[in-house]
Amino acid sequence: MNVNLIRKDFPILEKTINGHKLIYFDNAASSQKPIQVIEAIRKFYLEEYSNVHRGVHTLSQRASELYEEARSIVAKFISAEENEIIFVKNTSEAINLIAYSWALQNLNRNDEILTTLMEHHSNITPWITLSKIKDLRVKFTKVKSNGELDYEDLESKITNKTKLVTVTQMSNVVGTINDIKRIAKIAHEHDALVLVDGAQSVPHMPVDVKKLDCDFLAFSGHKMLGPTGIGVLYIRGEILEKLNPTMSGGGTIKNVKWKEAEKTCIIDWAIGPEKLEAGTPNIGGAIGLMAAIEYLNKIGMENVRKHECELVEHTIKRFNELEKTKLYGPLNPKIRGGIISFSVGELDSHQVALILDQFGIAVRSGYHCAQPLHQILGAKQGTARASYYIYNTREEIDKMIEILKKVEEIA
Ligand SMILES: Cc1ncc(COP(=O)(O)O)c(C=O)c1O
């Protein structure tokens, strides 16, 4: 993996911000895009654009071919089948889709959903909202003070009323990588299904839905070199077969027939993933995501993970030189992704981010849509978060450490 060569594909990294060369450490929020992805989208709109599925003319056939090729590339990337891949807007929409289709259709009063206190709000709020509609109970697995999930607590909270265990594979705050295989085993022993929030894991490490043995997986294109507005929901085939759409319309049906005798329409839903893709999909987005996956495949996801492990190891080592800076999460790079959240003395996290920005370093600050986790970690002022990707280097981390030493002087 040649980071210098990779960086050439991302012209934005040459940009000067506040008089300094940009150091982009906000990848957990959204990644930058390589020229190859931008070109694929440009080519589609300039030369191949048309709507999909409903046209017999050449351009519509071509657009359909590309859209379905994207589905197939996504499927291979996570070792799923093509007909198990639904294109959505993002991870949030994917989780909501499961809440308002599978869960709404299958869960009953007093059923339980087990999640964790490590989740992004997108994997908390849909369940709380649904629990009020259907009178369900949402339970939360504890997180240890070192940012690891408390598996014993998870096991003690699962019951025969638990119908879904929904958990992130990688925390977007402390970077913890959760043992999904272990969680899936526990869940399936109780006949509960498993939803994995892969927003932070799928872009950064090999993910195989068969090996994980999960039932649903959600992720976003924009965090993995792809464009905004396109995400993926994997649904295990036999579950998808029995699911009825809650958002329906064009594309989701096989037949809509007028029954004169009954004075109404009788609907036959489509069989495949399209039954959950109402209306014209984000065709350009899917094509951009396909180019992003092809780019990542060329590097190899094992190499992406290895590179980020090295960056994490380097960061943890260099953070030892800081006196007032507190690093959250596990110190073992083997169970941690390239996400580093920290606080400097009593300084507000936004203040830390603003100072780093003066030196061209883009980090996120606040609660990163995971307020309960910050409460548990005791990070009242929020945290500053540096999150890495394929184009980040040790030198960039070193520069951040030097600035943090200066920040400590005013903390
Ligand atoms: C773990 C996790 N889940 C869900 C989301 C929501 O992703 P999106 O905003 O693309 O829907 C994020 C975004 O940061 C995330 O980090």
CATH code of residue 316: 3.90.1150.10
Environment class of 179 (CB within 10 Å of its CB; exposed 0-12, middle 13-18, buried 19+): middle
pLDDT digits (tens, 9 = 90+) for 294-314: 999 999 999 999 999 999 999
pLDDT digits (tens, 9 = 90+) for 48-89: 999 998 789 999 999 999 999 999 999 999 999 999 999 999
- The CA distances from residue 11 to 360, 365, 386, in Å, are 15, 25, 21
Q: Max Cα separation, the chain?
A: 81
Are 293 and 285 a contacting pair, CB within 8 Å? no
Beta bridge partners of 113: 138, 164
Is the residue at 267 inside a domain? yes
pLDDT digits (tens, 9 = 90+) for 208-232: 999 999 999 999 999 999 999 999 9
Length of the chain: 411
Is the residue at 31 inside a domain? no
Q: For residue 25, how far is its CA from the centre of ligand 1 (angstroms)?
A: 16
Say which CATH number the domain at 158 has.
Answer: 3.40.640.10
174 CB near ligand 1 (under 6 Å): no
The predicted structure's pLDDT at residue 250: 86
| Average pLDDT of the chain to the nearest whole number | 96
The predicted structure's pLDDT at residue 55: 85
The answer to whether residues 191 and 63 belong to one domain is yes
pLDDT digits (tens, 9 = 90+) for 259-293: 999 999 999 999 899 999 999 999 999 999 999 99
Which of 247, 273, 297 terminates a domain? The answer is 297
pTM passes above 0.95: yes
The residue to mutate among 115, 369, 389, having the most atoms of ligand 1 within 8 angstroms of its beta carbon, is 369
The residue to mutate among 200, 207, 216, having the most atoms of ligand 1 within 8 angstroms of its beta carbon, is 200
Q: For residue 357, how far is its CA from the centre of ligand 1 (angstroms)?
A: 23
201 CB near ligand 1 (under 6 Å): no
The yes-or-no verdict on residue 3 having pLDDT over 80 is yes
The answer to whether residues 250 and 337 belong to one domain is no
The yes-or-no verdict on residue 152 having pLDDT over 80 is yes
Q: For residue 268, how far is its CA from the centre of ligand 1 (angstroms)?
A: 34
Q: Which of 298, 305, 293 is nearest to 226 (CA)?
A: 293
The yes-or-no verdict on residue 381 having pLDDT over 90 is no
The predicted structure's pLDDT at residue 235: 98
Which of 277, 297, 317 terminates a domain? The answer is 297
High-pLDDT (> 70) share of the chain, %: 100
96 CB near ligand 1 (under 6 Å): no
Is the residue at 64 inside a domain? yes
Q: Where are the beta strands (DSSP E) in 13-143?
A: 16-17, 20-21, 23-24, 85-88, 112-116, 137-141
pLDDT digits (tens, 9 = 90+) for 157-195: 999 999 999 999 999 999 999 999 999 999 999 999 999
Overall domain count for the chain: 2
Q: Confidence band (pLDDT; 50, 70, 90) for 411? A: confident
The answer to whether residues 243 and 136 belong to one domain is yes
101 CB near ligand 1 (under 6 Å): no
168 CB near ligand 1 (under 6 Å): yes
The answer to whether residues 16 and 74 belong to one domain is no
Is 369 catalytic? The answer is yes
The answer to whether residues 285 and 314 belong to one domain is no
Is the residue at 30 inside a domain? no
The residue to mutate among 172, 232, 282, having the most atoms of ligand 1 within 8 angstroms of its beta carbon, is 172
Residues near 243 by beta carbon (within 8 Å), at least 6 away in sequence = 101, 102, 105, 235, 275, 276
- Which residue type sits at 255? N
120 CB near ligand 1 (under 6 Å): yes
The predicted structure's pLDDT at residue 104: 96
Nearest protein CA to atom 16 of ligand 1, as residue: 172
Nearest protein CA to atom 12 of ligand 1, as residue: 199
Range of the domain at 18: 3-25+300-406
The yes-or-no verdict on residue 386 having pLDDT over 90 is yes
The predicted structure's pLDDT at residue 54: 76
pLDDT digits (tens, 9 = 90+) for 313-361: 999 999 999 999 999 999 999 999 999 999 999 999 999 999 999 999 9
172 CB near ligand 1 (under 6 Å): yes
Q: 56 — phi, psi (to 5°)?
A: -100, -10
Is the residue at 32 inside a domain? no
The answer to whether residues 47 and 153 belong to one domain is yes
The arithmetic mean of pLDDT across residues 104-117, rounded, is 97
High-pLDDT (> 90) share of the chain, %: 96
In the numeric block, the tokens 């990070």 are attached to 379
Q: Which of 20, 26, 16 is nearest to 363 (CA)?
A: 26
Is the residue at 411 inside a domain? no
